[in-house]
A and B are shown apart, each in its own frame.
Chain A
Amino acid sequence: MGDMIKGNDAIAEAAVRAGVQLYAGYPITPSTEVMEYLSWRMPELGRTFIQAESELAGINMVLGFAFCGKRALTASSGPGISLKQEGISYISKYRLPCVVLNVVRYGNGLGSLRSGQSDYFRDTRGGGNGDYRCIVLAPSSVQESVDLMYLAFDLAERYRIVTEVMSESALGQMMEPCEFPPMQELTVQDWALDGKYTHERRVAFMENYVTTAHENNARYEEIKEKEQRYEAVGLEDAEYVFVSYGIPGRVTHGVVNELRARGEKVGLIRPITLWPFPEKAFEQVNPNVKGFITVELNDYGQMVDDVALSVKKKLRTDIPVYCLPYVFEMVKRKDVFRDFEKIRQGQWKEVY
């Protein structure tokens, strides 16, 4: 077992191990330790760290750097990621790889510094103007943060897509033992701009939008087919299936373990990829399942929509889908036990 390390420091070191060559960003709680760590770690390795004047500038530095075929990272939280959407849309348009880390903080506007999952809709739907998707990876432990950050750069380059690692305030701030992967060689992509006019130019207004749309569709379908990731518990005999990701997913896992130990037939799907949403997991669910229950840290439930769509696609349309939105901070096991009981007794209204 590795040494104890704070989530934000660990995920920053994972990016270093994955061969990141540029970090550009702006401080915001609860993600700031990522840039603090990289501010000394990147120069130590002869790599580039820029404290940008804003999140907008940070993501646009990533855009320029990524055009040159090298691995680039920016990190922020809630409102900071909103500012980055302009750049993320452009990077997606240009089909460039990069990794964006969102250490999610709860809420609208300035929100709160505490944990939440209120950025699900924005980040899984693209977020900026236009019609594009980003791969979104949601860890539930410090070790998984490291593993997914390491994977994120490979996925970003394989599909030439923006890949977001969606951490959470609590996950960034807590310490756990953690093993690190080996240091990767630094790479340059063969399609990169080099100043020598080696490759065909891709500038505004000159592309065939219909062709590009078809290419993007094919790419997204391939990602949906190959890259769905999730953890599943007890789906084959489950009467109720909980769906939850991140730290709430970890808490729900504990709830499910305890209920199963008591002989209750419950299951868990913990999405690890939020886009593509792991709808394949729903194929494994007991056809006589009585309901799905999402456990989320937001106001009204967001992932519940994707669960309902997956239930419709993979099972039937008459299975109720419930949501337990615990707003912010931390999901408490006793609350989930209590509210699950209400669902079983018909005292909780389904969302779909």
Chain B
Amino acid sequence: MAVARKIPELTGRPTTFCPGCGHGILTRLLGECLTELGQDHNVICTIGVGCSCIFDTAYQGDMIQAPHGRGAAVATGVKRALPDVVSLTYQGDGDAYTIGLAETLNAAYRNEKISVFVVNNCNFGMTGGQMSWTTMPNQVTATSVHGRDTALTGMPIKVPEMIAGNFQTAYVARGTVTDAKHIRELKGYIRNALKAQIAGEGYSLVEIVSPCPTNWHMTALEAIDQMEKEILPYYTLGEFCKRGGKQE
């Protein structure tokens, strides 16, 4: 029997993300998961600085904007003040993995009972497409105009693998938004991350590999194509730390 799917009230307003951006899909999925888990009136969201700021155009709930990169520290303060409230961060790769790498890793290291959602679009989107730590080798950005030289700037960072491989955490996964199948899988990851927190199991992180047609200077379809050909083979999808502590 067909089931009518409602737009979740929590993230029901229109967003102002660019056409073809993956953020909007994550926004919707987060709203759906929090509502389905009965947490849409029991959640404080900490947003980062960058395109993640735009999340506040859609999101109706309690929200804090953290200083750039400090989301995990702010969310830690929230969780320690209100242990029964879901404390999550909504960040980009520049925020969580570059300027905020220390806060992100240290919250994971402590196994802080927060959920971290990071949109990885391989660049600093809001400031106009500069290189971030997740920028692909040879990718042209506003600060790597001849393509990223990994000999000078390092290889793209894989934070979920780093966390799952080194720290005791509750749940770590990487998903994407390129098609319906992957969006369904991503929703499962988001739900697992939130459930891990609600059950008091510890830290959870989901990275969402996402297209950025505006700053990649591509159409939306070309951006998806680029992801499938070059980006997703590098950023492996899946669960790196499953609930219950089993690791892949």
Residue positions of A touching B, CB distance < 8 A: 21-22, 24, 48, 50, 52-54, 56-58, 60-70, 72, 86-87, 90, 94, 193-199, 201, 203-206
Chain A residues with CB below 8 A from B56, complex form? 201, 203-204, 206
Chain B residues with CB below 8 A from A48, complex form? 80-81
Question: Bound state CA distance, A193 and B87, in angstroms?
Answer: 12
Chain B residues with CB below 8 A from A50, complex form? 76, 80
Chain B residues with CB below 8 A from A204, complex form? 53, 56, 65
Chain B residues with CB below 8 A from A53, complex form? 102-103, 106, 109
Instruction: Say yes or no: A70-B106 contact (C-beta < 8 A), given A60-B73, A87-B70, A201-B63.
Output: no
> Contact at A195–B86, with CB atoms within 8 Å?
yes
Interface size class of B (residues with CB under 8 A): 20 to 34
> Contact at A54–B82, with CB atoms within 8 Å?
no
Q: Which of B56, B60, B66, B73 has the most CB of A within 10 A?
A: B73
Enumerate B29-64 residues with CB–CB distance to A below 8 Å.
41-44, 46-47, 53, 56, 60-64
**How far does the Cβ of A35 sit from chain B's closest Cβ, in whole Å?**
16
> Contact at B66–A60, with CB atoms within 8 Å?
yes
> Contact at B41–A64, with CB atoms within 8 Å?
no
> Contact at A65–B77, with CB atoms within 8 Å?
yes
Across the A-B interface, the 4 shortest Cβ-Cβ residue pairs: A64-B77, A68-B81, A60-B73, A195-B85
> Contact at B41–A67, with CB atoms within 8 Å?
no
Instruction: Say yes or no: A195-B73 contact (C-beta < 8 A), given A57-B106, A63-B64, A203-B65.
Output: no
Question: Bound state CA distance, A60 and B61, in angstroms?
Answer: 21
Contact of B74 among A22, A63, A195 (CB under 8 A): A63
Chain A residues with CB below 8 A from B53, complex form? 204-205
Enumerate B58-108 residues with CB–CB distance to A below 8 Å.
60-67, 70, 73-82, 85-87, 102-103, 106
Residue of B nearest to A197 (CB): B61
Instruction: Say yes or no: A64-B67 contact (C-beta < 8 A), given A22-B80, A22-B81.
Output: no
> Contact at A195–B44, with CB atoms within 8 Å?
yes
Question: Bound state CA distance, A198 and B53, in angstroms?
Answer: 21
| Other A-B pairs, 18, CB within 8 Å; known A61-B73, A206-B56 | A22-B80, A56-B103, A57-B76, A57-B106, A60-B73, A60-B103, A63-B70, A64-B66, A64-B80, A65-B78, A67-B74, A67-B78, A68-B81, A69-B81, A195-B41, A197-B41, A197-B60, A204-B65
> Contact at A54–B76, with CB atoms within 8 Å?
no
Residue of A nearest to B114 (CB): A64
**How far does the Cβ of A46 sit from chain B's closest Cβ, in whole Å?**
12
> Contact at B65–A64, with CB atoms within 8 Å?
no
> Contact at A61–B67, with CB atoms within 8 Å?
no
Instruction: Say yes or no: A63-B77 contact (C-beta < 8 A), given A194-B82, A195-B86.
Output: yes
Question: Bound state CA distance, A48 and B76, in angstroms?
Answer: 11
**How far does the Cβ of A54 sit from chain B's closest Cβ, in whole Å?**
6
Chain B residues with CB below 8 A from A69, complex form? 81
Question: Bound state CA distance, A201 and B61, in angstroms?
Answer: 8
Residue of A nearest to B79 (CB): A64
Q: Which of A21, A61, A63, A198 has the most CB of B within 10 A?
A: A61
> Contact at B43–A64, with CB atoms within 8 Å?
no
Chain A residues with CB below 8 A from B65, complex form? 203-204
> Contact at A57–B81, with CB atoms within 8 Å?
no
> Contact at B102–A194, with CB atoms within 8 Å?
no
**How far does the Cβ of B198 sit from chain A's closest Cβ, in whole Å?**
12
Question: Bound state CA distance, A43 and B15, in angstroms?
Answer: 43
Question: Bound state CA distance, A195 and B102, in angstroms?
Answer: 26
> Contact at B80–A61, with CB atoms within 8 Å?
yes
Q: Which of A57, A87, A194 has the most CB of B within 10 A?
A: A57
> Contact at B77–A201, with CB atoms within 8 Å?
no
Residue of B nearest to A70 (CB): B81
Chain B residues with CB below 8 A from A63, complex form? 64, 66-67, 70, 73-74, 77
> Contact at A203–B41, with CB atoms within 8 Å?
no
Can you name 24 A-B pairs with beta carbons within 8 Å? A50-B80, A56-B73, A61-B80, A62-B77, A63-B70, A63-B74, A64-B76, A64-B77, A64-B78, A65-B80, A67-B44, A67-B74, A68-B77, A72-B77, A86-B67, A87-B67, A87-B70, A90-B67, A193-B44, A194-B85, A195-B41, A203-B65, A204-B53, A204-B56
